[in-house]
Amino acid sequence: MECNVITEFILIGFSNLGHLQVPLFFTFLLVYLATLMANATIMTVIRLDRTLHTPMYFFLFVLSCSETCYTLAIVPKMLANLLSTSQTISFSGCATQLFFFVGLACTNCFLIAAMGYDRYVAICNPLNYTLVVSRATCVLLVLASSCCGFLISVVVNVLVFSVPFCASNQINHFFCDISPVIKLGCSDTSLKEMVIFFLSILVLLVPFVLIFISYVFIVSAILKITSAEGQWKAFATCASHLTVVVVHYGCASFIYLRPTSLYSSDKDRLVAVTYTVITPLLNPLVYTLRNKEVKSALSKVLGRYSFPKTV
């Protein structure tokens, strides 16, 4: 089959919504600005308050930074397309967007798993916590998460964009995601899709299983605590992380842990909005609203840098 040389794609994700595009633009813009502000606040508070200079908040700082970059790869282009009559993206722009989206998404998955390991050591082996989860270990885990994430992204990009594309260049999504792009190929992509599926298992299922095993040990250790107050405090330190795990892995698993043939554009677009727009805002809110240490540190930082009261 003869294929045209495609130099650009058309993102038709929200083009069928007509007059709803402008309200959607302002809604997503407000959520995006709130996400940037919330993540910037988390990073600033962690940086300025020395009581938060611990492994758990080091991982949270890196996760907030990664989430901010993650939204930068998707949301600005989506907002521009909502107001534009030309919803095109260049071939190289699409490949770049997919590279950073997959790389940062995989990095976030591994970071959340590392945070689970941190909680496991803190509760199950508290006497050796500072020795086991040292600063060097934290940096090593972050570097390993980033390197693995972007290595997987390179492999995915090669698999997706080595496919010869046919006449259609219309991506039925609001950004360059794996399934909508690879479906435009005019050759048999079943082997490539199988490799991508196994990579999805590696990124999503393996860390989730490790986190689940960690929490089995964590719950077992918490139940051995004699005082109800001690049990509640231990559970509270894990609640925020557990909430992020359920939302993050739940949405991603719904999309990527299934064959491309089961791709449903309308449902998947809705889920994609959740994990590209809403989840990055949810993470800092969960850690701020449910965490006494962060709320206390935020109050101190605001008190320290607020304007003096006038008499």
pLDDT at 2 over 60: no
pLDDT in tens, 7-48: 889 998 787 777 788 898 999 999 999 999 999 988 998 898
- Does 150 fall in a domain? yes
Whether residue 2 is contained in a domain is answered as no
Q: How many residues does the chain have?
A: 311
Q: N- to C-terminal Cα distance for the chain?
A: 80
Expressed as residue numbers, the domain containing 91 is 8-301
Classify residue 256: in a domain, yes or no. Answer: yes
Residue corresponding to tokens 């003869």: 2
The answer to whether residue 310 is domain-embedded is no
User: How many whole angstroms from its chain centre is CA 303?
Assistant: 31
Q: Note the pLDDT tens digit of each residue in 249-305.
A: 888 888 888 766 566 566 677 788 888 888 888 888 887 766 777 777 778 777 776
Q: Is the separation of the CB atoms in 231 and 222 below 8 Å? A: yes
Q: Can you give the CATH number for the domain in which 50 is found?
A: 1.20.1070.10
Mean pLDDT of the chain: 86
In this prediction, residue 259 carries a pLDDT of 66
What is the phi/psi pair of residue 184, to 5°? -80, -10
H or E element at residue 294: helix 292-305
- The tens digit of pLDDT for each residue in 72-120 reads 999 999 999 888 878 899 999 999 999 999 999 999 999 999 999 999 9
Residue 297 within a domain:
yes
Residue 67 lies in a domain: yes
Nearest to 37 by CA among 273, 300, 288, 252: 288
- What's the mean pLDDT in 141-164? 95
Number of domains making up the chain: 1
- DSSP, collapsed to helix, strand or coil, labels residue 117 as helix
Domain-embedded: residue 50: yes
Tell me the C-alpha distance between 264 and 269, whole Å. 8
To the question of pTM greater than 0.75 for the whole model, the response is yes
Per-residue model confidence (pLDDT) at position 311: 46
Give Cβ neighbours of residue 235 (< 8 Å, ≥ 6 apart): 222
Render pLDDT for 49-58 as a digit per residue (tens, 0 to 9).
888 889 989 9
Q: Does 3 score more than 60 pLDDT?
A: no
Inside any domain, residue 89: yes
Residue 19 neighbours by CB distance under 10 Å: 6
